[in-house]
Structures are given as structure tokens and as C-alpha cells.
């Protein structure tokens, strides 16, 4: 009986730790520095460049319309998000810039593929058009 109680206790603790780790993995914390960062580019200007960069670097996973249904989407473990959703669009430009720049888990960082900060800001501008 004591062994059963011990196993039950271990099982409950393990389940709790697993659940807690899943919560931590799904929340993407953006540092305040980036959360409050202002986009230095004009969202109307160079939109074609942002679209081109998105097509080259993002579309294969996130899809042409940003629904998370790109041709490589099934290879990714995490949630790819829906760029047209109110939840996604409610994020600050700085938060989107941070996520695009540094990535996490299956989302790669783009400081090497797009070393120019302005290019990543232009992608953020293009992602904003996916809500329309």
C-alpha cells in the first residue's frame, strides 16, 4: 500500500512538473526593451521589399497568407500562429521584431539570414498587411 501511495505521489508531481513546463514553453516572453521599441520604418514605404523577404524567409512555414500552413508547417513542432488573427496583430511591432530577430525552438533567429535590422522591420510591416 505504501508503494502505491509513493507511486501515486510521484505520478502527481511528475504530471504537475510536465504541465508547468508546457505552460512555460508556450508563452513567448518579450523583454520590455523590445516590447516598447518603436518601428523606425514607414509601414507604407518599401512594402514590396518586406513582402519579398517574407516570401523568401517566412512563407515556407507560415504560409502565403500567414495562416501557419506553409509547405514546411508539418515539420515544425510549435504553433506557427495565424498572422491574420486579432491576437497576433495586437502584439507590438517591437515584439514581432524581437521574435523575428531571435526566434525560439523551431523558429530560427534571423540575424544571419537578414543581418540588417531594417529588413526585419520591413517584414514586420508586411506581416501587418496579412490582417487585411
Q: State residue 20's pLDDT score.
A: 47
Residues 41 and 58 in one domain: yes
For residue 108, give the nearest of 62, 42, 74 by alpha carbon.
62
Residues 19 and 42 in one domain: no
Residue 10, pLDDT > 80, answer: no
pLDDT digits (tens, 9 = 90+) for 27-83: 899 999 999 999 999 998 999 999 999 999 999 999 999 999 999 999 988 889 899
Range of the domain at 9: 1-30
Name the DSSP letter for residue 69. Answer: -
Residues 91 and 53 in one domain: yes
CATH number of domain containing 46: 1.10.760.10
pLDDT tier, 4 (very low <50, low <70, confident <90, very high otherwise): confident
- Entry pTM: 0.78
* Residue 80 and residue 86 in contact, taking contact as beta carbons nearer than 8 Å: no
Residues 9 and 35 in one domain: no
Residues 24 and 39 in one domain: no
Residues 16 and 52 in one domain: no
Q: State residue 26's pLDDT score.
A: 67
The least confident of 4-8, 54-58, 102-106 is: 4-8
Residues 71 and 100 in one domain: yes
Instruction: Count structural domains, the chain.
Output: 2
CA distance linking residue 96 with residue 30, whole number of Å = 9
Amino acid at each position: 500500500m505504501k508503494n502505491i501511495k509513493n507511486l501515486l505521489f510521484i505520478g502527481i508531481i511528475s504530471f504537475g512538473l510536465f504541465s508547468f513546463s508546457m505552460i512555460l514553453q508556450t508563452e513567448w516572453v518579450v523583454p520590455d526593451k523590445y516590447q516598447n521599441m518603436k518601428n523606425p520604418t514607414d509601414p507604407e514605404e518599401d512594402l514590396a521589399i518586406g513582402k519579398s523577404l517574407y516570401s523568401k524567409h517566412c512563407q515556407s512555414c507560415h504560409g502565403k497568407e500567414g495562416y501557419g500552413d506553409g509547405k514546411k508547417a508539418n515539420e515544425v513542432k510549435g504553433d506557427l500562429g495565424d498572422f491574420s488573427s486579432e491576437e497576433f496583430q495586437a502584439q507590438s511591432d517591437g515584439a514581432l521584431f524581437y521574435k523575428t530577430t531571435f526566434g525560439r525552438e523551431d523558429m530560427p533567429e534571423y540575424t544571419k539570414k537578414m543581418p540588417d535590422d531594417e529588413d526585419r522591420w520591413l517584414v514586420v510591416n508586411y506581416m501587418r498587411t496579412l490582417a487585411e
